[in-house]
Amino acid sequence: MSSKRLFGGTKLGDIAASVKDRGEAPKPDWSGIKAVLPTAELALQGRTSPGLTRETVLSVDAKRCRPWKFHNRTDAWYTRERCADLIDSIPKDGQQEPAVARRITGDANYDYELIYGLRRRYACEVTNTKLKIRVVEVPDGQAAVLMHLENADRQDITPMERALSFQTQLAANLFPTQDALASALNVSKGQVAKMLKAAQLLSHATISNLMPDRSSVPVEQAYKLATLMERPGAKDVVLQAAKNLARRDGEGGREPRLVLKTLLASLDQSRKLEPIRREYNVGKAGRAVLVRNAKGKVTVAFPKGLGPSDRDAVMQAMDQILKDLG
């Protein structure tokens, strides 16, 4: 699949830019005809503007539908509280938009896998209502694009869920490169890089165990911490702070933003270092004096001065100083 085009040569960026509304225009009196389509549905048909199209929608048992393995919603969404709007509206007004699914075989428990529409599935199961689905035949890469467009349209997937989804899709080679993913999903390369680094933080079990609801982990804080952990010695400081936090409060005892705030603060505290003063020989007659204060500020002085011939001796002394400072 081209990373820039979907179906019939349609550019995904044009699709995302041209369709803003999710509401339905007044329907003509033709059964099974829809007047305005959401962004993902337009992408599914390879068109950049809404129009009239016939569609086949099935009503199935919600329990016979499983999530697509690359679906980006976490289990935290599937509660009565977070699906209360649909649990209330579907029995009264019906399911306004079908979920999109692929037919599966060889699974005794399921007949379909949902590319998107898992909250609708949960609400239908809770209310014992048939789930409306549109069955499509698309490979995983195109399914990822459709899911992304649908989520961008709804704007209720959290940034971290998107970040983890990007990470999973790249690991599974749904897209050949990070840049290809960014192009296919119409997301800037810089934003994708930032989200992937934030998601990488949760690969540390010591940290992720403190935040069971990954969907609510703030991307900005996670990115900042992941970046700082690349500095020499910082990773060990943060992981130790995470272990201390788990012993004190238990795993999952705090909101993710407070956990990250505490871990970020551990790096600030680690900068309160023990003051040191050391002397180093520079050549045969010279010397260098290293001083580090409690805030980590380092100065190197050469009391006897330096000359052009001292260059190699100074570089040798500086190498040793940097090793000693870690």
Total-model pTM: 0.60
Residue bearing the bigger pLDDT, 124 or 296:
124
Share of the chain above pLDDT 70, in %: 76
In this prediction, residues 97-123 reach a mean pLDDT of 91
pLDDT in tens, 300-316: 998 888 888 888 888 88
In this prediction, residues 272-288 reach a mean pLDDT of 81
Which range is least confidently modeled, 27-36, 101-110, 116-125, 273-282?
Answer: 27-36
Residue 132 has pLDDT above 90, yes or no: yes
Query: Where do the domains of the chain lie?
Result: 5-155, 189-270, 276-325
**What contacts 269, CB < 8 A, 6 or more positions away?**
none
CATH class of residue range 5-155: alpha beta
pLDDT in tens, 259-273: 999 999 988 766 555
Alpha-carbon span 169 to 310, nearest angstrom: 55
Quick check: 263 and 230 in contact, CB under 8 A?
A: no
pLDDT in tens, 29-68: 323 333 333 444 444 544 433 333 345 689 999 999 999 9
139 CB neighbour count, 10 Å cutoff: 10
Query: What pLDDT does 118 receive?
Result: 87
